[in-house]
Amino acid sequence: MKRLLTIRTNIYKRRTPSGVLKWMVRWRSQVNGQWKAITAGITKDEALLMEAQVRRALGNGNDPSLLIITKGERLTVSMVIDRFYEHSRFQGGRKLWQTENRARIEQYIRPALGASGFDELSRDKLYKFYLSMREKGLGRASIHKTHTLLCLIGDLYIEICNEGENPVRRLRDFTKFFPKNAPQREINFLIPEEVTALLKALETETENPLVLPLIQFLAGTGLRRGEALALKWTDIDYKSGFLAVRKSKTGQARNIPLEETALNALKQVKSKHTYVFTYADGTRPHQDSFLKPLQKAARHVGIDKRIDLHTLRHSYGSNKIRSGWGLKKVSMLLGHSEITTTAKVYTHLLDGDLCVRDDFRFDNGAKCANSSELSAADEFVSQVISAAMGKALEGGNDGALDRARAFMDSATEFVKAKTQMQVAQGKCYTGATPG
């Protein structure tokens, strides 16, 4: 059993050579057990505040000497970035997240803002920085990600200084100037006949031997292009008929059924290197090398929609729903973190083509199959109620409703009708095939 490290800190007073009395905070290093100390201020309250900050840093697995500075020291953006790399906010992220954000910092943030003091990041300076990114051709998504990252770095700056407000988060109107939701481009998908024609046209592709098998594999599995290119032969289980996606955008592993289209694609891959989609010499292709052949083949067969490799994923999902698969099943196959993501994309794609207004829990096929039985049961109940009211009215209008209720409670016909109604409802809702 792993022994938890004890956090040991204390505060004490120390007189400087000039005779000034200052409060100190010291802590025991969790690495080598040595005691370290730092100046906290001239009052006990300042020392207690600093001690709390030291304990928080130790609890997060960070070295307080990297996070805490003496009061009044100027911290540049570059200095805070260096400490951000050592902080749990960065170290706790996934490797891909770390790689992407380190590149974003070194390519955009540090060159433009690194020499500035963090407290000098004014509104004008920050907006000039974001506008310069837009002038370089970067889109809204990239600017938003950079802003979010700079907010995290600013949060660390406030933690270090223990005062003030994050200057980056003071931009209350950031989304006004850089709207998060850019005008969405049309999401296109291919029907099965178009997919078949597209794959047929790609059979003539000779320059890149991986074009046809990869595109066919994407069309038959709905994988993201990065997931397919990261697939290893050990992830494929022909015996069970499934492949395992271990590296996904959401970080969640999932299993995908190997259908005929995907199996035929794998048969065309000659390489037996670690990764499935690898050239004969062992090198791995870049995902951009498949786009032009795909679009060329689409034009050749008369597909004038705007398509890319991700279109194959949309096509897989939409065609599954059109064939009767429930949203929950499709969501799991596509690896969406939330079923609402699937609903937003595919109910929009199929608007007017298929009724998918269910609450994402049941297949509409099962509901429709039993709807006639529900209607018959409903009509049966109505007939019994009418008969009961007729029987009750024989004794006059006074108390007729009460007599009708009593009659229905005791009548075997009504019990039978009520049971039939419940069975039909169960088949249409609780007994429907899960999506």
Answer yes or no: is pLDDT of 386 > 70.
no
Weakest-pLDDT range from 311-315, 367-371, 375-379: 367-371
Mean pLDDT over all residues of the chain? 78
Q: Which structure tokens are listed for 40?
A: 């906290």
pLDDT tens-digit readout, 265-292: 999 997 778 999 999 888 888 888 899 9
pTM: predicted TM-score of the whole model, two decimal places: 0.50
pLDDT tens-digit readout, 126-181: 999 999 999 998 888 889 999 999 999 998 888 777 667 889 998 888 888 877 65
How many whole angstroms separate alpha carbon 403 and alpha carbon 391?
9
pLDDT tens-digit readout, 195-211: 999 999 998 877 889 99
Left if phi > 0, otherwise alpha if psi is -120 to 50, otherwise beta: which for 2? Answer: beta
Question: What pLDDT is stored for residue 340 in this prediction?
Answer: 80
How many whole angstroms separate alpha carbon 146 and alpha carbon 152?
10
pLDDT tens-digit readout, 299-357: 999 998 889 999 999 999 988 888 888 888 888 888 887 888 788 777 655 554 444 44
User: 156 — phi, psi (to 5°)?
Assistant: -65, -40
Query: 12 - beta bridge partners?
Result: 24
| Radius of gyration, CA atoms only, the chain | 33
How many whole angstroms separate alpha carbon 345 and alpha carbon 315?
11
Answer yes or no: is pLDDT of 414 > 60.
no
Q: Which structure tokens are listed for 165?
A: 């407000």
User: 10 — phi, psi (to 5°)?
Assistant: -160, 170
Answer yes or no: is pLDDT of 425 > 90.
no
How many whole angstroms separate alpha carbon 168 and alpha carbon 27?
32
Strand 254-257 to strand 242-245: parallel, antiparallel, or no bridges (unpaired)? antiparallel
